[in-house]
C-alpha cells in the first residue's frame, strides 16, 4: 500500500504544518512516511509544496503521481493538475476560507477524515502541535474533518516508528559525540543543523556560535580545536568555498576538524533552495597542497547520526579533516524509521594541549621542535608523514561500513550511488532483480567497490549531478569506466517510479 499526498500553496500559508500534523498522526498509527519539501527562495508568495508519501512498509522517496491533493491556492491546482491520478481526491481551500489563519488546520482535518483516522486522534495532535488549547484551531480541525467522507481506512498497525530530518539527525550525532562548539554562518540547507543545535545547547552543555562569515567560522573552529574542544563547522557550497584556505591550515597544522557540508545547486548562487550532488569534487579536493582527509556521505537520518559520530571520532583519532557530505534532500526531508542508531563511539582527547606543555602550530612547515622551517629535508619528511597518516586513516575507516549492499545480493545488475539517491533507489528496486551498492566513505574509498563491479554483468551509475562525479572517482581509483549512467541535475531529487522505469530500460 502506498499513497502520495501533495500539499501546495504560497510560502507563509502553513504547508509544513499540514504535513507535520498528518505525518505525526500516521507515524503514531504505525505507518511509514516520507515528506519531501519543495520551495523557492522567497519568504512570502510563490509556489511551495510538500509531497507526503505513506506506506505500511518502509519508504524513503516520493513518486510522480498524486493520490490526494491539498490545495491552499489556485496555482497549486493549475501546476499539478496532470499529476493527479484518475480517481484522486482534491481538497480545496475555498471551502475553508472563513477560518483565516487556521485554514491549514481545517485542511489537516479534512485530510485526516479522508484517510479514515478518528477525530479524537486529530484533535489530540492539533493540541500537541500548537502547544495550547486553541479553541478556534480545534473548531477548524473539526469542521474540516466533518466536511469529508472516508476513502481509506488507516487502522492502527503494530509498527513503532520515529520521524526525523537529516538536520535533526546531524545535531543528534554531534550531541552524541559530546560536541563542545558548533560554528556556522547561516546558509541553506545547512542552517537546519545550526537551529537544531542552538535549541539544545543549554540542555547538553555546549555552545553554538554564529560569527560574521564562513572564513571566521572555520578559523574560530581551528582555534577552539587547538585548545582541546570537540568542534564542528556547518555550511553549504558557497560558504565551503570560502573555507578552503582554513582547510589547508588544518592540513599542515593537523588540528582535528569536522565540517558539515550540505550541498545545494551551484555554481554560484545557483538554485539556492534546491538539491544537487554537485559538491563531491570540492569535498574531495578543496584546499591547496596535498593533505589527508575523510569524506563520507549519509543517505538518510539514521546514517547521519552514526556517520557524524564516526567522523568526529576519526578526526580526533587521526588529527585530520573529516567532511560530512550531505545535501538539501537528506537535510530537509523527513524520514520515518523503525530502527535505532548504533551505540555512539566515545571520543577521547589524547593529544597534547596548550597548558599541559608548550604546543606550537602554524601554517608553515615545521621542524621537530615546531619551529618554522624552509628546509628541503623537512619538506620531504613532513610530506611523507602526511602520506603515512593517510594510510593510517584508510585502515582506521575499515572498522566502519564504508559501503552497504542492498537488494538482491546475487544479482548481476549492479546499481552504484551515494548520499541522497539511496531512498529513491531502494524504493525503485523493490521486487526487482537489482543489487545496490551504496558508497558511504568516498575518501578513502573501499577496495570492495572494484570487486563488486567485476562480479556484475550490468553496472548502472545513479547520481544527482551533471557529470557523474562518483563515477569519475571510481574510474580514477579502479580504472573502470561505468558506461550506463542515470544522471539528474534539474535541482529536483529522483522520484522512485520514474527511476524504476529508467533502470528497467537499461
Q: By 3-state DSSP, what share of the chain in percent is helix, strand and coil, each rounded to 5?
A: 40, 25, 35
88 with 108, same domain?
Answer: yes
Nearest to 19 by CA among 46, 47, 38, 43: 38
CA distance 475 to 5: 40
464 half-sphere exposure, CB direction, 13 A CA radius: 30
136 with 211, same domain?
Answer: no
pLDDT confidence band for 51 (50 / 70 / 90)? very high
pLDDT score recorded for residue 126 = 94
Say how many residues make up the chain: 506
367 with 501, same domain?
Answer: no
pLDDT averaged over every residue in the chain: 96
Q: 406: how many CB neighbours lie within 10 A of its CB?
A: 17
Residue 484 has pLDDT above 80, yes or no: yes
Q: What does the pLDDT look like over 359-392, one tens digit per residue?
A: 999 999 999 999 999 999 999 999 999 999 999 9
Contacts of 505 (CB under 8 A, 6+ apart): none
174 with 102, same domain?
Answer: no
Q: CATH no. for residue 442? A: 3.40.50.920
Residue 476 has pLDDT above 90, yes or no: yes
* Residue 42 within any structural domain of the chain: yes
Residue 130 has pLDDT above 90, yes or no: no
Q: CATH no. for residue 99? A: 3.40.920.10
380 with 232, same domain?
Answer: yes
116 with 66, same domain?
Answer: yes
pLDDT score recorded for residue 134 = 85
Work out whether strand 207-209 and strand 458-463 pair parallel, antiparallel, or are unpaired: unpaired
Helix axis angle for 421-428 and 496-505, nearest 10°, is 70
369 with 263, same domain?
Answer: yes
**330 near 29, Cβ under 8 Å?**
no
Residue 132 has pLDDT above 90, yes or no: no
* Residue 496 within any structural domain of the chain: yes
CA distance 189 to 506: 33
* Residue 155 within any structural domain of the chain: no
Residue 131 has pLDDT above 90, yes or no: no
* Residue 350 within any structural domain of the chain: no
138 with 213, same domain?
Answer: no
Q: What does the pLDDT look like over 247-269, one tens digit per residue?
A: 999 999 999 999 999 999 999 99
319 with 183, same domain?
Answer: yes
- Mean predicted confidence (pLDDT) in 165-169: 98
* Residue 156 within any structural domain of the chain: no
Q: What does the pLDDT look like over 63-82, one tens digit per residue?
A: 999 999 999 999 999 999 99
Residue 227 has pLDDT above 90, yes or no: yes
Work out whether strand 257-263 and strand 207-209 pair parallel, antiparallel, or are unpaired: unpaired
**Beta strands of 226-355 (E only): which ranges?**
231-235, 257-263, 293-296, 321-327, 334-337
Structural domain span for residue 101: 2-146
* Residue 356 within any structural domain of the chain: no
* Grid coordinates of 6: 501533495
Q: 241: how many CB neighbours lie within 10 A of its CB?
A: 15
* Residue 443 within any structural domain of the chain: yes
Q: What does the pLDDT look like over 435-459, one tens digit per residue?
A: 999 999 999 999 999 999 999 999 9
Residue 300 has pLDDT above 70, yes or no: yes
Burial of 474 (0-12, 13-18, 19+ CB in 10 A): buried
Nearest to 400 by CA among 448, 455, 460, 452: 448
Q: CATH no. for residue 187? A: 3.40.50.970
Work out whether strand 403-407 and strand 441-443 pair parallel, antiparallel, or are unpaired: unpaired
179 with 75, same domain?
Answer: no
Q: What does the pLDDT look like over 492-505, one tens digit per residue?
A: 999 999 999 999 99
Percent of residues, the chain, with pLDDT higher than 90: 95
* Residue 349 within any structural domain of the chain: no
pLDDT score recorded for residue 61 = 98
3-class secondary-structure state, position 457: coil
pLDDT score recorded for residue 43 = 87
* Grid coordinates of 267: 555554481
459 with 330, same domain?
Answer: no
- Mean predicted confidence (pLDDT) in 313-336: 98
Residue 150 has pLDDT above 90, yes or no: yes
269 with 384, same domain?
Answer: yes
The 8-class DSSP code of residue 296 comes to E
The 8-class DSSP code of residue 354 comes to B
Peptide bond into 267 cis (omega under 30): yes
**416 near 470, Cβ under 8 Å?**
yes
| Largest pairwise CA distance in the chain | 82
pLDDT score recorded for residue 149 = 95
Question: What is the dihedral sign for C-alpha 18, 24, 28, 33?
Answer: positive
Q: How many domains does the chain have?
A: 3
Percent of residues, the chain, with pLDDT higher than 70: 100
* Grid coordinates of 294: 575523510
Alpha-carbon separation of residue 436 from 265, 267, 296, 408 (angstroms): 25, 29, 18, 8
- Mean predicted confidence (pLDDT) in 208-227: 98
The 8-class DSSP code of residue 374 comes to -
**364 near 372, Cβ under 8 Å?**
yes
* Grid coordinates of 90: 482534491
CA distance 189 to 1: 32
* Grid coordinates of 32: 511509514
Amino acid at each position: 500500500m502506498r499513497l502520495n499526498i501533495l500539499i501546495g500553496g504560497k510560502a507563509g500559508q502553513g504547508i509544513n504544518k499540514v504535513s507535520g500534523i498528518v505525518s505525526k498522526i500516521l507515524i503514531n498509527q504505525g505507518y511509514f512516511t516520507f515528506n519531501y519539501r519543495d520551495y523557492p527562495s522567497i519568504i512570502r508568495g510563490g509556489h511551495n509544496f510538500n509531497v507526503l508519501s505513506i506506506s505500511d512498509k518502509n519508504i524513503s522517496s516520493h513518486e510522480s503521481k498524486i493520490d490526494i491533493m491539498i490545495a491552499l491556492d489556485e496555482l497549486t491546482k493549475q501546476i499539478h493538475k496532470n499529476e493527479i491520478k484518475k480517481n484522486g481526491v482534491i481538497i480545496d481551500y475555498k471551502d475553508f476560507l472563513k477560518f483565516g489563519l487556521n485554514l491549514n488546520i481545517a485542511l489537516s482535518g479534512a485530510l485526516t477524515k479522508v484517510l479514515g483516522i478518528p477525530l479524537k486522534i486529530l484533535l489530540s495532535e492539533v493540541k500537541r502541535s500548537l502547544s495550547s488549547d486553541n479553541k478556534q484551531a480545534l473548531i477548524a480541525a473539526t469542521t474540516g474533518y466533518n466536511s469529508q467522507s472516508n476513502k481509506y481506512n488507516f487502522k492502527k498497525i503494530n509498527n513503532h516508528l520515529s520521524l526525523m530530518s537529516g538536520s535533526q539527525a546531524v545535531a543528534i550525532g554531534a550531541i552524541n559525540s559530546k560536541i563542545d562548539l558548533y560554528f556556522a554562518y547561516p546558509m541553506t540547507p545547512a542552517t537546519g543543523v545550526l537551529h537544531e543545535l542552538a535549541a539544545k545547547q543549554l540542555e547538553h552543555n555546549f555552545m553554538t556560535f554564529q560569527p560574521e562569515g564562513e572564513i571566521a567560522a572555520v578559523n574560530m573552529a581551528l582555534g577552539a580545536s587547538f585548545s582541546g574542544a570537540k568542534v564542528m563547522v556547518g555550511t553549504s557550497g558557497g560558504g565551503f568555498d570560502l573555507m578552503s584556505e582554513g582547510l589547508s591550515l588544518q592540513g599542515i597544522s593537523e588540528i582535528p576538524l569536522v565540517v558539515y557540508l550540505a550541498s545545494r545547486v551551484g555554481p554560484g548562487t545557483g538554485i539556492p533552495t534546491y538539491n544537487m550532488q554537485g559538491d563531491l569534487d570540492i569535498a574531495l579536493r578543496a584546499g591547496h597542497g596535498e593533505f589527508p582527509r575523510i569524506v563520507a556521505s549519509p543517505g538518510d537520518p539514521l546514517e547521519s547520526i552514526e556517520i557524524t559520530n564516526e567522523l568526529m571520532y576519526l578526526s580526533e583519532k587521526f588529527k585530520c579533516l573529516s567532511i560530512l557530505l550531505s545535501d538539501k534532500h537528506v537535510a530537509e526531508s523527513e524520514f520515518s524509521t523503525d530502527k535505532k542508531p548504533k551505540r555512539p563511539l566515545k571520543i577521547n582527547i589524547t593529544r597534547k594541549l596548550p597548558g599541559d606543555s608548550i604546543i606550537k602550530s602554524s601554517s608553515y612547515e615545521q621542524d621537530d621542535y615546531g619551529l618554522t622551517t624552509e628546509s628541503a629535508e623537512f619538506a620531504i619528511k613532513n610530506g611523507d608523514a602526511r602520506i603515512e597518516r593517510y594510510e593510517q586513516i584508510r585502515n582506521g575507516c575499515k572498522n566502519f561500513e564504508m559501503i552497504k549492499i542492498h537488494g538482491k545480493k546475487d544479482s548481476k545488475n549492479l546499481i552504484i550511488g551515494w548520499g541522497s539517491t539511496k531512498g529513491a533507489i531502494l524504493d525503485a528496486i523493490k521486487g526487482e532483480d537489482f543489487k545496490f551498492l551504496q558508497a558511504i566513505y568516498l575518501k578513502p574509498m573501499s577496495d570492495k567497490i572494484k570487486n563488486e563491479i567485476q562480479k556484475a554483468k550490468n553496472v548502472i551509475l545513479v547520481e544527482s549531478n551533471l557529470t557523474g562525479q562518483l563515477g569519475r572517482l571510481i574510474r580514477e581509483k579502479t580504472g573502470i569506466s561505468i558506461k550506463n549512467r542515470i544522471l539528474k541535475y534539474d535541482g529536483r531529487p529522483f522520484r522512485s517510479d520514474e527511476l524504476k522505469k529508467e533502470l528497467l530500460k537499461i
